[in-house]
Amino acid sequence: MPLLRARALCKTYGTVQAVRGVNFRLDENSYVTLLGPSGCGKTSILRMIGGFEEVSSGLLELDGAKLNDVAASARPVNTVFQSYALFPHLSVLENVGFGLRYKGVGRAAIREKARAALETVQMGAMADRRPRQLSGGQQQRVALARAIVNEPRLLLLDEPLSALDRRMRKDMQIELKDLQRRLKMTFLHVTHDQEEAFALSDRIVVMRDGIIEQQGAPDAIYRRPETAYVADFIGGAACVPGRIASQAAEGYRIETALGQFAAPGVAGLRPGAEAVLCLRPEQLRIDPEGPIAARVTHVVYRGAEWLVELEAAGVALALTTAHDAIPEIGADLRLGFDPAQVWIARAETGEAAQ
């Protein structure tokens, strides 16, 4: 039995449909990320699970029991809020011990457990401070301790790292993953940062406009995007529109403005169907013998490499290249790629089958 199951879950605000009938499940002891741009409905899903928003229609089940009408205070679920929402009038220790009172824990035991939780997030030394005396990263850790000390069945994290600087974010990512493994708890983490999602997740749920585009293991999402949207959003791939010509041994033959190519792709495409050829920057290379003629439009320095943006037969492409081979803007080049490494995805959007 999955820990949590969502069936045909919907959320509407007035006439706006924020979540439009999504289905997903969370397994025990897993780290799952809801990934998507702002406004895609991921936060609404989190808030419905937390009990802060009513479910408009559909079903939420926790451990097989309906969760829809259970008050937030009665759910075995705790949340790390985006703004941390630490109580400013209470000390760090009191913040962490806040929820234990409702679990029938004695006064002395509350202090002990709260201290232990603070040690877990390396904040033991700050127990007597007030939240406003802490840095953002420290507040983040306290918020985490305040949630996990209650030993919830499910921990919800609402963009928890978005207010941190890049360096701190990297450190916290490692710690979060580590913490989840140690506690053997299920974490549901909402983010718009795909790098963060890859670093943390056992499973990623990619959302767009209130529906799920694709869900699965990070590697599968990256290598085998089911839709043009996922290919673009996750891998930054250029999606060259085309039409399936025929089935091929390891995939399909696809007809595009750049020519006809044979490549592996998502299952279920029929000849004549619209599809896209996904070309990620690291898959394209400059090759005088290559099949694609392109002209350089921009060159962007990215530290470890250069990103070269090009245009070929009206299609925008990009590739990465090393320092010693930087083409001029306006130069005509020929490009090539290994067809076995690229991927053909559906052109249209729509919730993927589970």
Interacting residue with another protein among 87, 270, 338, 340 (CB under 8 A): 87
Contacts with another protein by CB under 8 A: the residue count is 29
88 binds another protein (CB under 8 A): yes
273 binds another protein (CB under 8 A): no
Interacting residue with another protein among 7, 66, 103, 270 (CB under 8 A): 103
Interacting residue with another protein among 13, 54, 64, 83 (CB under 8 A): 83
The interface region with another protein, picked from 143-151, 230-238, 278-286, 318-326 by CB under 8 A, is 143-151
Q: What is the 3-state secondary structure (H, E, C) of the chain?
A: CCCEEEEEEEEEECCEEEEEEEEEEECCCCEEEEECCCCCCHHHHHHHHHCCCCCCEEEEEECCEECCCCCHHHCCEEEECCCCCCCCCCCHHHHHHHHHHHHCCCHHHHHHHHHHHHHHCCCHHHCCCCHHHCCHHHHHHHHHHHHHCCCCCEEEEECCCCCCCHHHHHHHHHHHHHHHHHHCCEEEEEECCHHHHHHHCCEEEEEECCEEEEEECHHHHHHCCCEHHHHHHHHCCEEEEEEEEEEECCEEEEEECCEEEEECECCCCCCCCEEEEEECCCCCEECCCCCEEEEEEEEEECCCCEEEEEEECCEEEEEEECCCCCCCCCCEEEEECCCCCCEEEECCCCCCCC
Please give the residues from 32 up to 71 whose contact with another protein meets the rule CB under 8 A: 50-52, 71
160 binds another protein (CB under 8 A): no
Q: How far is the CB of 165 from another protein (least distance, A)?
A: 19
Interacting residue with another protein among 20, 130, 243, 334 (CB under 8 A): 130
116 binds another protein (CB under 8 A): no
98 binds another protein (CB under 8 A): yes
User: Based on CB atoms, which residue is closest to another protein, 105 or 308?
Assistant: 105
Residues that bind another protein (CB under 8 A): 50-52, 71-74, 77-79, 81, 83-89, 98-99, 101-103, 130-132, 146-147, 150
